[in-house]
A and B are shown apart, each in its own frame.
Chain A
Amino acid sequence: MTTFPIEKIRADFPILKETIRNKPLVYLDNAATCQKPQAVIDSISHCYSHEYANVHRGVHTLSVMATDRYEGAREKVKDFINASSTKEIVFVRGATEAINLIAQTFGKSNIKQGDEILITAMEHHSNIVPWQMLCEQTGAVLKVAPINLQGELIVDEFEKLISDKTKLVAVVHMSNALGTVNPVKKIIAAAKVKNIAVLLDGAQAIPHMTINVQELDCDFYVFSGHKLYAPAGIGVLYGKQALLEAMPPYQGGGDMIRKVTFDETEYNTLPYKFEAGTPSIADVVGLGAAIDYLNEIGMDNIAAYEAELLDYATEKAKQIAGLKIIGEAEDKGAILSFVLDKIHPHDIGTMLDSLGIAIRAGHHCAMPVMDFFEVPATARASFAMYNTKEEIDVLINGIEQLIEVFG
């Protein structure tokens, strides 16, 4: 029996007290974005009220303070994912920007005509489109490893697609549409045999489990702050130092240089080489505060609690006639994607909204997944550490009622 401090956690999130159409908010759209605890909101406010100035270049007190906080947050991120150095932590806008950065720097310098990039059929558009764009630019080929009807990667087929031409494997750690957690250690091991670099898209995984990039031995790991109870507009690209050193810069401008003349310009050291312009200072501080908050609760405790929620929701959902769960991988995170007989996800979403329940209805930026399961869209309930079994009861009850009304 878990003694997860759910009441205290819920009290920490001010938005959970909101009412929607006169009903208590039941926020089950966490795979789209998570809500923020007061500590994170306060950290941003505190930054702008007391410790805000531009970072890195100033000599005055406020600038030194702001830099301390900013670089302090970078240390927190490094520890949170167990990277070996802060040189390996680059702040970007989000996972999408991180993947585009890797595609346009690592990709452009290492991937040529006829080379192959291997992804899977369950990827989010952010881990498909940048590679399609790169393939168009370079003449490389995009290979897609298939999934089965449970929403799992078919590992044999994946391994068969690794060839002598494969230059990069880019795989989602946890699918936002299906909840599937991929066997990333196996994937990385298979790629390492041929010395192929591996990028893991951790946007969905990072709030649900402990991430240890050294243990995983992935070459790149990307995630967004807004799915980690941190502000929207900040994200992290982790890359092994040797790889980042070899990559050319992404955006040019201030801070990513050591010296500029009109004859030649020297780029800065890591990680600053990839951080052009004034960063989102307060958002970085907010990310640090979110990590502090999560560390107090413990990622393993969160994982265990969410597993309970998923089991509870899945069991209840399976009892509803006419409900089909999409994505039933053996290893799965706290996401429940489903369809109802003859009732379109859009209608499910609007009806549940009238009961104060926020779910997502659509293609979840994973149109190929929808095509594979031959559905136009799914309804998706996704859980976070502040959700409860009572909220799941409200969801299930709502689904049962709307099936009756549509009947």
Chain B
Amino acid sequence: MFDDLRDLYQEVIFDHNRNPRNFRVMENADRKVEGFNPLCGDRLTLFLKMDGDEIIDASFQGSGCAISTASVSLMTEIVKGKTEAEAEVLFKQFHAMTTGKEEDIDLEVIGKLAVLAGVREYPARVKCATLAWHTLDAALKNEEKSISTE
């Protein structure tokens, strides 16, 4: 019945929404940033543990739509073991993919995140997908305690 939405709501999305990975509070986190999408009420708190410039652990709490939950769940999986610089590259790639700028997407780098490529056909939902990454960006830059997509 929802054939049109297969591009967006893939099985992986449903899976990560139902069983989000790294969904826990992190004691002794090095970075803690809140992300908020005022348009729809998606809200998340991101925790990072750093070893020098390497992200050794990432977790989150919060509530939001399936797209935002799946996105942050996938993100926390993929950034573990990455350096800040590598994570920033991923952020740029993810942003380009979800906003429809297809040039220079490295499929090897993007990996599992490609499952969210469909969101570019749904401009109203792009901010749901990118909230996780904007929050990560703020956490890595250590600049803000909370960010908003507006």
Contacts and interface: CB of A to CB of B under 8 A. Distances in A.
Interface of A: 21, 343-347, 350-351, 354-355, 361-363, 370, 375-377, 401-402, 405-406
A345 B39 CA distance: 11
Interface of B: 1-2, 4-5, 8-9, 14, 38-43, 63-67, 122, 124-125, 128
A401 B66 contact: no
A362 B5 contact: no
Contacts of B42: 344, 346, 376
A344 B65 contact: yes
A347 B41 contact: no
Contact of B122 (A343, A350, A375, A376): A350
Given A344-B65, A401-B1, A362 B41 contact: yes
A363 B8 contact: no
A346 B43 CA distance: 13
A362 to B, nearest CB: 5
Contacts of B66: 343-344, 347, 406
Contacts, number: 60
Contact of B40 (A343, A377, A405): A377
Contacts of A405: 1-2, 9
Contacts of A354: 2, 4-5
A350 B41 contact: no
Given A345-B40, A346-B125, A346-B128, A376 B2 contact: no
A362 B40 contact: yes
A75 to B, nearest CB: 41
Contact of A370 (B5, B9, B41): B41
A21 B4 contact: yes
14 contacts: A344-B40, A344-B65, A345-B65, A346-B64, A346-B128, A347-B9, A350-B122, A350-B125, A351-B9, A355-B1, A363-B41, A370-B41, A401-B2, A405-B2
A344 B9 CA distance: 13
A361 B40 CA distance: 7
A350 B8 contact: yes
A230 to B, nearest CB: 26
Nearest to A361: B40
A21 B1 CA distance: 13
A362 B42 CA distance: 10
A21 B2 CA distance: 11
The 3 A-B pairs with the shortest beta carbon distances in the complex, nearest first, are A376-B41, A344-B65, A346-B65
Contacts of A350: 5, 8, 122, 124-125
A219 B128 CA distance: 43
Contacts of B67: 346-347
A345 B42 CA distance: 10
A145 to B, nearest CB: 24
Q: Which of B4, B122, B128 has the most CB of A within 10 A?
A: B4
A141 to B, nearest CB: 26
Contacts of A343: 66
B40 A402 contact: no
Q: Which of A345, A377, A402 has the most CB of B within 10 A?
A: A377
A115 B40 CA distance: 35
A347 B4 contact: no
Contacts of A406: 14, 66
Nearest to B64: A344
A361 B65 CA distance: 11
Q: Which of A350, A401, A405 has the most CB of B within 10 A?
A: A350
Given A362-B40, A377-B41, A405-B2, 8 more contacts: A344-B42, A346-B67, A350-B122, A350-B125, A363-B38, A376-B40, A401-B2, A406-B66
A347 B65 contact: yes
Nearest to B13: A347
Given A344-B65, A344-B66, A347-B67, A376 B43 contact: yes
